[in-house]
Amino acid sequence: MQWFCPHRLSQEVAELKRQIDAVNRERKLQQTAAGGELAGMEDQWKELVAKNGEIERACRAMEEEIVLMQAASHPAPQCVACSCVIFANRIGVSDIRACLPPHL
């Protein structure tokens, strides 16, 4: 049977408690520092998302402007008989369904 010295055991317990407290203090400091860094990164992320939204809206507006400018510089062909608009489809074939008989 092995005997333990109560004084020595209490010293070891006290030392372990000090080590545990030191680890907990260090962890708390690291978490606090990381929390500030995370908050900054979250703010930066929000700003970038907002900028992306602005850029997307600006791109859509420019695309619409380009379409309008192209339409203004290349007016759609018209039927010679009644001046109705002849729509060109994607493969380049004219669609004159808007034009009524007799001049189809």
pLDDT at 8: 87
Q: What is the pLDDT along the chain (104 residues), one digit of tens a residue?
A: 567 788 888 999 999 999 999 999 999 999 999 999 999 999 999 999 999 999 999 999 999 999 888 888 876 665 556 655 555 444 444 444 445 455 44
Of 82, 76, 83, 85, nearest in space to 102 by CA: 82
DSSP 78: B
pLDDT at 87: 53
d(C-alpha 33, C-alpha 101), whole Å:
79
pLDDT at 76: 60
Please report, to the nearest 10 degrees, the dihedral formed by the alpha carbons of residues 63, 68, 74, 75 taken in order. Answer: 150
Q: Is the dihedral of CA 80, 82, 97, 63 positive or negative?
A: positive
pLDDT at 11: 92
